[in-house]
Amino acid sequence: MSIRRNLVSLIAGALPIMAALFLWYAVCALKLAPASLLPSPVTVFTRLIALAGDTNFLTQAGITLFRLFVGFAIAVVLGVSIGILAAGSRAVATLMQPVVRVLAPVPKIALYPAFVLVLGFDHSSKIALVVADALFPILLATYQGAAAVEPKLVWSARAAGASPAKCLFTIVLTAALPSILTGARIGLIIACIVVFLAEMITSTDGLGQMLVRAARNFQTVDMFEPIITITLLGLLLNAAFNVLSARLLVGFAEQP
Amino acid sequence: MARVNAIPGLSALIACVALLLIWDGLSRAFAVSGLPPPWGPLRELPNLLTEPETLVNILASLRRMAIGFVVAIAFAVPIGLMMGRSRAVAAFFNPLFMVIYPVPKAALMPLIMLWIGIGDMAKVLVIFLGVSLPVVYHSFQGARSVEEKMLWSAAAMGLSASQRLRRIVLPAALPEIMVGCRTGVVLALITMVTSEMIARQSGVGNIFFTALDMGQYDTVYAMIIIIGALGFFCDVGFEAVRRVLVAWAEPSHQIAVGSA
Amino acid sequence: MNGGTVLPLVGRPDRIQRVATNLIEIAAVSKVYDTSQRGRHVALSEISFDVAEGQFVSILGPSGCGKSTLLYIVGGFVDATSGSVRVSGAPVTGPGPDRGPVFQEFALFPWKTVLGNVMYGPLQQGLSRTQAATRARELLGLVHLTKYESFYPKELSGGMKQRVALARTLAYQPKILLMDEPFGALDALTRKHLQNELLEIWERDRKTVMFVTHSVEEAVFLSDRIFVMTNSPGRIRKVFDVALPRPRVRAELLVDRRYQEMVVAIEKLMDEQEPELS
Ligand SMILES: Nc1ncnc2c1ncn2[C@@H]1O[C@H](COP(=O)(O)OP(=O)(O)OP(=O)(O)O)[C@@H](O)[C@H]1O
Ligand SMILES: [Mg+2]
């Protein structure tokens, strides 16, 4: 019953994706659009496979991944510690809340020119943008999750002899893990997107710059490759994150 | 704390002043020409906002943003609601949206400009793409959590499927939809700025780089303040609208989803 | 001691004579909640009583009368607005391993296995992992859960969860057990089983227990002494000394007149219109 339903929904879900790909193929095959504007999916995916062995392409992807991971890691460390501290201390929460209220809806991309001016065109300005963008979902999720932790869980640990600080960084942190991971996954995808955009804006290197260079040279096929690559990376990271979450969250109730 | 909260906006104002002071401190600490103290950009604000060319650029950007946003809402809310109420529709759309989710929408700018030219259409389309997904997601969540029994009694009263969607599901999902709209409006701004920074044709994003290239750092930072303020006030405005429309509900999903 | 708010005292039955070996001394404890919407709410007003070492006392009262609040104050989880609580002569300033709570909601750590949950306390006390595991297994044997040590809490039934919670608390050897409707979320049969088990465990080392419940039978079956509370503000209305012999066996008690009379007397008192306290 459930297997059949899963199979049916799998087919239903594959339909629109297949249809879009087929439409793309048909438009090209029927020459409704010039190949210089819309290359056929066959060309695009053959080229992608060829690129998978291309050193330059892999180097550029590596640069993008490096910035993505460093920025994301910093955002996780900052977001989780500030969020947990704010949940544990009223003073920190009072300080943090108005600042976050003002900064969270600010388009961080607008800060990018400032990052470039201060940190230069290299890694650090892009990493700074990733941190600024990924930080808030993680921080807010951590704070909300930690603030919603059942106090009796903390009391049980306190009565057993754990100090308040120890409770905060063991019990509260772990109990808030489902929420933290939700925020971190959102932050990860945002980091993925933002690092690419930053590379497009100051096109020095990385996958984003490959897209801009291809656009300048009107190499339409090469414009598709970085976009598809970063999307696949996002999907892959998302899937990996889900596997990691499932491992970390044994014992917790199923997440919706 | 209680007294600070008594006057609306006071704590935000204090936070802004604090941020400016931190900025001032940082600029002293770094002492580079790229990071001037905030007072110059603040003085630059009135000049910038009375200069007709800048104003026209900003207004044109806001107009595109508004169009993209409204079209996205009109498209995304019905889809989200239908997904929430029908397993089949959800199964149909979910994987598609999951694949589209990590696509950097603003990065499609060069391709879209190639296809439909560098006019307003391209920019509106990108904003539309950027806003749609979170609104679909929140409408979906909202419609999915509508009380089943409410729908049963509506069906018993003889409401047709489309009537139920409009009269029961839509209002019941409104709190969540409003959360989606609030996320969406900020995303519209983000997508707008990003795509203009990438396209460098006109608009707000372009002013940045013109100023940057000419070394007018005060203008760059003044633009940052303007866009930051726009983001903040869009958010506050939508929060106010949400409070009025759905005063009875507390949103369940509060973390913004998505990016340009 | 009166902490500012003087409330008229009508026939206070809560002045209990001091016994020499009082482990818990509750003196004029009041609790006022400041809620932004409803203003000040007096949850507890001038509660005073002592609990002797090794005594099993129960607290009965209508919902919302402040039973949990009182227990939390003794536990050090919540601060009293005025008054003081002393345990072993020292004032309570926060939670400590001399007072072990057991909650209605179990409050087990969902990310730890049954064994991990029970080991938590001993590890906090500085025991090595092997020592802690040995002690935890001992206690799991006591609550008949030896086979379930590698299960996660979500894989257990309510009764099993509460057994784990009890074992987790007993594992750090508190002098006092603070039990807040520990069997409130369980079905009638499981509840009886656990009552029997609790008494069995209690008979072994006679810990001091403060036990909050809504069930009169449960209170009479378990306790040496029962405090019945009044509703808002919460005060002690009447104290019952349960002079039933121990060890108690349910089948014998049920036909015991003294048991029946005490249950009826308390039920009657709780059914009565509460005397108006202005
Ligand atoms: N954190 C709080 N903030 C405000 N009021 C509270 C808080 N906790 C409890 N109260 C109020 O204090 C009173 C006593 O609550 P308490 O939980 O101690 O009652 P109780 O006797 O344990 O009730 P029950 O039998 O239903 O568990 C109630 O009126 C409750 O509304
Ligand atoms: Mg209670």
What is the ipTM score, two decimals? 0.89
- What's the CATH number for B48-245? 1.10.3720.10
Does residue C148 sit in the same domain as residue C198?
no
- Which of C129, C154, C173 is the last residue in one of the domains? C173
C111, C139, C210: best to mutate for the A interface, most A CBs within 10 A: C111
- C contact test, residue of A149, A150, A155 with most C CBs within 10 A: A155
Residues with CB under 6 A from ligand 1: C 33, 35, 41, 43, 61, 63-69
In chain B, residues with a C-beta closer than 8 Å to the C-beta of A116 are 212
Instruction: Determine, yes or no, domain membership for C73.
Output: yes
CA C176 from centre of chain: 9
Which pLDDT score is estimated for B118? 81
pTM value is: 0.89
pLDDT for B213 equals 83
Would you state the pLDDT for residue B150? 81
Look at chain A and count its residues.
Answer: 256
Residue among A184, A151, A144, A145 nearest A167 (CA):
A151
How does pLDDT run across B177-228, given as a tens digit for each residue?
988 888 899 889 999 999 888 887 777 878 888 888 888 889 899 999 999 9
Summarised one tens digit per residue, pLDDT across range C174-225 is: 999 999 999 988 899 999 999 999 999 999 989 999 999 999 999 999 999 9
Report pLDDT digits (tens) over C87-121. Answer: 999 999 999 999 999 999 999 999 999 999 999 99
Nearest CA-CA distance, residue A172 and chain C, Å: 10
Give the CA angle between residues A248, A80, B25 to the nearest 5°.
Answer: 160
Q: What is the pLDDT of residue B5?
A: 53
The reply to whether C85 and C183 lie within a common domain is yes
Model pLDDT for residues B25-38, shown as the tens digit of each residue: 999 988 888 889 99
pLDDT bracket for residue A73 (50, 70, 90)? very high
- Chain C window 136-155: which residues touch A at a Cβ cutoff of 8 Å? 152-154
**C158, C173, C188 - which closes a domain:** C173
Separation of A202 CA from ligand 1 center, angstroms? 59
| Candidate from A16, A118, A224 with C-beta closest to B32 | A118
CB-based contact (8 Å) between B99 and chain A?
Answer: yes
User: What is residue C4's predicted lDDT score, i.e. its pLDDT?
Assistant: 37
pLDDT of residue C15: 44
Q: Give the number of domains in chain C.
A: 2
| Same domain flag for C196 and C253 | yes
How high is the pLDDT of residue B197? 87
Task: Please say if the pLDDT value at position C7 is more than 50.
Answer: no
Look at the domain A12-22+34-248 and name its fold: MetI-like fold (1.10.3720)
> How many Cβ atoms are within 10 Å of C187's Cβ, its own excluded?
11
List the subunits that have 3+ CB pairs under 8 angstroms with A: B, C
Indicate whether C232 pLDDT > 80.
Answer: no
pLDDT (tens digit per residue) in B53-86 = 888 888 888 999 999 999 999 999 999 999 998 8
Sketch the domain layout of chain B as residue ranges: 48-245
- Reference C110, options A183, A256, A156; nearest CA is A156
Q: How many Å from the N-terminal Cα to the C-terminal Cα in chain A?
A: 21
The Cα B92–Cα B8 span in angstroms is: 45
Which one-letter amino acid corresponds to residue A136?
F
Same domain, C128 and C226: no
User: In the prediction, which pLDDT does A6 show?
Assistant: 81
User: What is the domain range of residue C187?
Assistant: 1-6+22-98+175-272
How many Å lie between the centroid of ligand 1 and the Cα of residue C11? 25
B167, pLDDT greater than 60: yes
Of the partner residues A161, A251, A253, the one whose CB lies closest to the CB of residue C97: A161
Across B101-105, B155-159, C15-19, least confident range: C15-19
> What pLDDT is recorded for position C6?
37
Put simply, the answer to whether A160 touches C97 (Cβ < 8 Å) is yes
Question: Between A and B, how many residue pairs show a Cβ–Cβ distance under 8 A?
Answer: 180
A155 vs C120: CB contact, 8 Å cut-off?
Answer: no
| Residues in chain B within 8 Å Cβ distance of A206 | none
All residues at 6 or more sequence positions from C176 whose CB lies less than 8 Å from its CB, including other chains? C23, C24, C74, C87, C98, C99, C100, C207, C208, C209, C210
Is residue C201 located within the same domain as residue C254? yes
Q: How confident is the model at residue C80 (pLDDT cuts 50, 70, 90)?
A: very high
Chain-chain contact of A153 with C109 (C-beta, under 8 angstroms):
yes
Q: Which residue stretches of chain A are H helix?
A: 2-29, 41-51, 55-88, 90-103, 112-119, 123-147, 151-159, 164-167, 173-175, 177-201, 207-216, 220-248
In this predicted model, which residue has the larger pLDDT, B106 or B150? B106
Under the banding of pLDDT at 50, 70 and 90, the label for residue B257 is very low
Query: Choosing among C77, C113, C177, which should be mutated to test the A contact, i.e. which has the most A CBs within 10 A?
Result: C77
User: Chain B: nearest CA to A167, how far in angstroms?
Assistant: 25
C93 and chain A: CB distance < 8 Å anywhere?
no
What's the confidence (pLDDT) of residue C258? Answer: 93
